[in-house]
Amino acid sequence: MVGLSLGGFLALCGGSSDHGYVHVDMIDNSFSPQLQRIHKGGTIVFKNIGRNPHNAVAVDKSWSTEEDFGTLNMLGGDKARVTYPEEGVFPYYCTFHASPDQRVGMVGTIVVGDIEYKQETLKKADPVGTWTGVTRKVPSQYPTIQLAVDAAEPGDLVLVAPGVYKEEVVVTTPSLIIRGEDRNKVIIDGEHVRGNGITVVGADGVAIENITARNAVLNGFFWTSVEGFRGSYLTAYNNGDYGVYAFDSQNGIFEHSYASGSPDSSFYIGQCYPCKAIIHDVIAENSALGYSGTNAGGELYLINSIWKNNIVGLAPNTLDSELLPPQREATIFGNIVLNNNNIKAPFVAIGWPSFGNGILVAGGLRNRIEKNVIINHPNNGIVMLPNLQDNLWLSHGTIVKENIIRGSGRADISLSGPISMGNCFSDNSFSTTIPFGLEIFAGCGSPVRSMMGGDLSMMMGALAMMMDANLGNFDSGDYKTQPIPAAQPEMPEAMKQNTRPALTPFEDHQDLIKEAKFHPEAEKYLSEEIDSSSYVGSIQTVVPGSILAVIFHIFGFLLPFVVYSSWTFTAFMDMHQRKESSAIWSALIILVPFLGSLAYHFRGGSTLPGWFRKTMIGSGAGVFLLLVFIAGALVA
């Protein structure tokens, strides 16, 4: 996300020092390192560097981060210190993201003192590929879904009758099929007090079908650390983190599903490579992000779905706070991306700068964006920008072709940031690009793709939006009160007759990839009223506007012009004063903006004092960094 690219700068501002302590990072849904050794009497700093709430609790209850922090709910950036006065081995877990037996999921071990310890390898039950023929019915045979799941063997079907089930279901048995008899009447209700609707922890091949999950504190449906997953005909709404969510998991599909009202994303596949996963025929709306895929890619396909009325439509991104960076090799094909400018959607502060964009790639590599219809976004239809956390991740090598983009406020296609490498653009239908001439100078058929610089004003505007969000100038919508969706299509009887676990769903659905085209409803959406695309481009401020946005936009918009004119003017002035005109250097300065004059000042025999040249060349970056540090001081 745009906001995430600024997190690294803001982290430099403020905060007490933890140097000299041993650290354990709470990455989203895992501890790093999982095994940490420390001397007797030593202290460990647990820090949540992810985006989800986490904690650390000893299995024997002898210690917890709650003792130092005051609550179990540690959010991103929060820290807690735990001191270990006695030798021993202390397995621990996160109460939000581990299995009930504290053995699978987000778990770790602290070894205190000089103790020999070999980490146990947990043997998982083997998945199966066929239904056993056994059906366990809820509530006629088992009063709760959890009791039926606990009694089931791999390959069993848990069939749930209509009703509102006020429970949190945790699945650790592989290859179960959990199915509702009626998608709209089988409801798992978290009542805003329970963490997840259904969580599948380390259990391969589990399929969840034809069920609604609502009002969870965290996620509606959640798979973590699995091989093989399927979510079909699911409805997830008004959950406090994600709707339908797969993490550290491979070989799966989300299909024919609906998710809305999440402060993060409606659908999420993250931390996997290769993912071997498909999202097909889903609808995502009224969330911060329709789709978010941090560090996810490799045979990952987002096809023929509708992403509308969110803060941003789709946002594949790279973060150092999760494993397997960078995000790479995802295909976004044949989608409808519409009206992602919902100011009433719930969001966390770090997501607000993504507002008003259709498809946003933040630090992603070698993605493919093709045959999408992208309509009515007040900032950009498609935008690619770098992401900065511990490392700077450029968005490069992405193919953007045959998309239809209409009604974008700043640009239909935009590159943001100082440099772009290897991205190409061809056969798109659009009105405006930033910078100008993307399909001319970076066409996919060209043997050479120019290293074009992008739009700094977009990055500066996003920084202002991040400040506004952290300072409370824009209020998030409440995920608990987002619109309740209409009844969603029932799982067809033919699919119900084909009962099977999710052993190899990616291989089983290759036809969806091979047959993907423009979305079947593309013409319908294109025939409706569409806003006119802007021809103003980067002169327009990033919206929604504020005083901060205007100030930062002016700097971001004018800074490249000031830098270019100062470097170029002083280069020509120096050649004139030396009375040594050079056709080669003149051509280089004119034809290769920025780099030509930069090369002259350092290799062209300039007579300007070295301190002057270095100050002039470094001043642009200095102004940018100064603004970032000011922003960090204001929100720290």
Confidence label for 581 from pLDDT (cuts 50, 70 and 90): low
Strands (E), 78-202: 79-83, 88-98, 105-112, 135-138, 157-160, 163-165, 169-171, 177-180, 186-189, 196-201
Taking residues 592-598, report their average pLDDT. 79
Helices of type H across 113-245: 145-151
Helices of type H across 278-396: none
The residue assigned the tokens 């179960």 is: 176
Query: Residue 449: its pLDDT value, please?
Result: 61
pLDDT at 575 over 90: no
Confidence label for 2 from pLDDT (cuts 50, 70 and 90): very low
Confidence label for 612 from pLDDT (cuts 50, 70 and 90): confident
pLDDT at 79 over 50: yes
pLDDT tens across 151-170, in order? 999 999 999 999 999 999 99
User: 11-25, 53-67, 267-281: lowest mean pLDDT where?
Assistant: 11-25
**What tokens does 298 get?**
């490799």
CA 49-50-51 angle, 5° bins? 130
Indicate if the alpha-carbon torsion angle 464, 469, 471, 475 is positive or negative: positive
Which CATH architecture fits 18-112?
A: Sandwich (2.60)
DSSP 418: S
Query: Residue 15: its pLDDT value, please?
Result: 43
- Residue among 412, 422, 427 nearest 452 (CA): 422
Q: How far apart are the first and last CA of the chain?
A: 20
> 556 or 160: whose pLDDT is higher?
160
Taking residues 208-230, report their average pLDDT. 97
What's the rounded Cα separation, in Å, for the pair 97 and 430? 44
**What tokens does 418 get?**
């100082």
Secondary structure class of 247 (helix, strand, coil): strand
Taking residues 571-581, report their average pLDDT. 79
Confidence label for 14 from pLDDT (cuts 50, 70 and 90): very low
Secondary structure class of 538 (helix, strand, coil): helix
Query: Residue 20: its pLDDT value, please?
Result: 58
Strand pairing category for 300-303 and 277-280: parallel
pLDDT tens across 515-525, in order? 999 999 999 99
Secondary structure class of 443 (helix, strand, coil): coil
pLDDT at 452 over 70: no
pLDDT at 3 over 50: no
Contacts of 391 (CB under 8 A, 6+ apart): 320, 325
pLDDT tens across 321-355, in order? 788 999 999 999 999 999 999 999 999 877 888 99
Confidence label for 629 from pLDDT (cuts 50, 70 and 90): low
The residue assigned the tokens 């602290």 is: 110
Write out the residue limits of the CATH 2.60.40.420 domain(s) in the chain.
Answer: 18-112
> Do residues 94 and 54 make contact, with C-beta atoms less than 8 angstroms apart?
yes
What radius of gyration, in Å, describes the C-alpha atoms of the chain?
26
pLDDT tens across 457-492, in order? 777 777 777 777 777 777 889 999 999 999 999 999
Query: Residue 320: its pLDDT value, please?
Result: 84
What's the rounded Cα separation, in Å, for the pair 440 and 380? 19
Percentage of the chain exceeding pLDDT 90: 58
Taking residues 281-302, report their average pLDDT. 97
**Count of positions (residues) in the chain:** 636
pLDDT at 4 over 50: no
539: β partners: none
Query: Residue 29: its pLDDT value, please?
Result: 80
What's the rounded Cα separation, in Å, for the pair 588 and 311? 43
Angle, helix 547-578 to helix 595-603, in steps of 10 degrees: 50
What's the rounded Cα separation, in Å, for the pair 188 and 211? 8
pLDDT tens across 398-422, in order? 999 999 999 999 899 998 876 667 8
User: How many other CB atoms are there within 10 angstroms of residue 331's CB atom?
Assistant: 19
